[in-house]
Amino acid sequence: MANPQESNQPRLVVSKLGDDISTDAIYPGRFMATVLPTETPKLAFADDVELNAKLNSGTLPQGSVIVAGRNFGCGSSREQAASCLRGHGVTIVARAFARIFLQNSINLGLPTVICPEIEADQGDELVIAADHIWNRTKDRKFAIAPLPAARQAIIDAGGLIPYTRRLLLESRA
């Protein structure tokens, strides 16, 4: 199945993060009363002053990428962690994602790519193909792991809300 992120356009790596980036780091708990996807993006990585400022600068090239290690999004089920990143139009490329965060991302349409061996640094340019990522700066290729098959139908429907709406209407038809 085609990778929804596939494109020939090179994408800039705007940040490189390590393993076990928690939802507390992505969207601190003290902001949980803020829920609207129009309001959460400005709080993304609020405690990482540099990254937060970069995301909110309004100058990120389209299709920018955050590269992370393993277990990205571990911890809380808070959906703001996905909605705050989606609002910035970034793609998350990680070696592996925590379960609930990945599901939330799929449900909300935050682009995620599982790339178990990815090596990239801030400032590198990536080209995301159907089954691999080409780090153009380092001239190295890394295989993409397909999303769990069960998730693709939700992505294809444009997210869980339209997917559920369709099932609701079918059940009433």
Q: Which stretch binds another protein (CB under 8 A): 58-66, 85-93, 103-111, 118-126?
A: 103-111
In degrees and rounded to multiples of 5, residue 159 shows phi and psi of 120, 170
Judged by beta carbon, residue 98 or residue 113, the one nearer another protein is 98
* Per CB under 8 A, 172 contacts another protein: yes
Local structure of 58: helix, strand or coil: coil
Radius of gyration of the chain measured on its C-alpha atoms: 16
**Span 22-41, contacts to another protein by CB under 8 A:** 22, 24-25, 28-30, 32-36
Minimum CB–partner distance for residue 45 and another protein (Å) = 11
Contact between 164 and another protein by CB under 8 A: the answer reads yes
Which strand ranges, in their side-by-side order, compose the sheet holding 65-68?
A: 112-114, 91-94, 65-68, 11-16, 125-128, 132-135, 140-143
The answer to the question of residue 108 lying near another protein (CB under 8 A) is yes
Please report, as ranges, the residues that interact with another protein according to CB under 8 A: 20, 22, 24-25, 28-30, 32-36, 47, 70-71, 74-79, 82, 96, 98-100, 103-104, 107-108, 148-151, 153-154, 159-161, 163-165, 167-169, 171-172
